[in-house]
Amino acid sequence: MTNFIKERFINYKASKRQEKYEKQHDILYKRHKSEKVLFIIMFAVFFIFAVSFIFPFCWILINSLKSQTEFANNFIGLPKNWTFENFKEAFTYSSVATRNYNLFQMMGMSVIIAGIGTVVTVFTSSAAAYVVAKYKFPGRNIIFGVVIFSLIVPIVGSLPSQIQLMDAMGLSDTVIGCIFLYSGGFGMNFLLLYSFFKNLSWTYVEAAKIDGASDFRIFFRIIVPMAKGPIIAISIIQLIGLWNDYLTPSIYLPEQPTIAVGLKYMTDTMVQKGTYTLLFATIILTLLPILLLFCMFSKTIMENTSVGGLKG
């Protein structure tokens, strides 16, 4: 009798475990099924979103390989006679509208301004973010509040006073003046680096101070190497932003156009003349440096940034 009861009890426990397993399996199956549906929907949405970005680029590239006559007759299909004459002409094209600057000269201006501007602004942002995040001093909260406030105020609101300031300092229509405007230590770069430095361990700094290291040496020899990944990611994003910036160079550097400003001048002239294939070739050439840069460092950007800021 005792063995019978034990056997019934064991069978009962086994049936309960089997029932529990089947319920969990059903829940997981239903969840997996709903996840698959959600995945398919999200894939379709992002695929359409990606195509909407890639299609214009492909259309411009295809039409840049046509002659102007062929483009006028057929602006949808593939070129019948492939030609690279538009690209050759785009390299040497210049006009009064572009201040007689050709594509290479405008790219050179962009390299100088975007390159130096990126180095300066990343340095000032990282230094300011590190000081505000790690050092306690009177007015620290005020500085942080000013940063937030500067992000809220639209550019148009501060533009008139900015123009007056640049004129008074004699920096209008100068490369130095344009770089000066990019050299601010506040903005989104400050917030991203601030969040990184805030979570950084202070142990290394304390050990370095015991060994007699100065604050500058600690920053350049310890903090910057530890923040190498985030700084590189922010530098690339900043470089792309300055390369594509149109507003600042168009206002403060009109006589020495960068590639963004020069492309606008060239677009107006080429549209008036109807040389669309030449315009398409010029657009492709101006996009190539940024596309190559992003492809080379896209992994670095993804590894060191996240939705909410920077990864430590």
Dist. CA 90–CA 54, nearest whole Å: 22
Query: Does 77 fall in a domain?
Result: no
Q: Identify the H or E element spanning 283.
A: helix 276-304
Q: Is 230 part of a structural domain of the chain? A: yes
DSSP 188: H
Residues 221/205, Cβ–Cβ less than 8 Å: no
- The DSSP 8-state label assigned to residue 310 in this structure reads E
Decide if 269 is inside a domain. yes
- Judge whether 76 lies within some domain: no
Task: Tell me, yes or no, whether 41 and 98 share the same domain.
Answer: no
Angle between helices 155-169 and 175-182 (to 10 degrees): 140
pTM of the entire predicted model: 0.76
Domain count, the chain: 2
| CATH number, domain with residue 258 | 1.10.3720.10
Mean pLDDT of the chain: 81
Instruction: Examine the domain organization and report whether 252 and 154 are in the same domain.
Output: yes
Q: Do 165 and 294 share a structural domain? A: yes
Is residue 116 scored above 90 in pLDDT? yes
Among candidate residues 187, 196, 190, 198, the one with its CA nearest the CA of residue 134: 198
For residue 105, with 0-12 CB atoms within 10 Å meaning exposed, 13-18 middle and 19 or more buried, which class applies?
Answer: middle
Instruction: Say if residue 50 is in the same domain as residue 154.
Output: no
Do residues 192 and 110 both lie within one domain? yes
Query: What pLDDT digit, counting tens, does each position of 35-47 carry?
Result: 777 778 888 898 9
Please report the beta strands in the chain, taking only residues with DSSP state E, as ranges in sequence order.
305-306, 309-310
State how beta strands 305-306 and 309-310 pair: antiparallel
Does residue 185 share a domain with residue 57? Answer: no
What does the pLDDT read at residue 17? 63
pLDDT digits (tens, 9 = 90+) for 184-220: 778 788 888 888 888 888 888 888 888 888 888 888 8
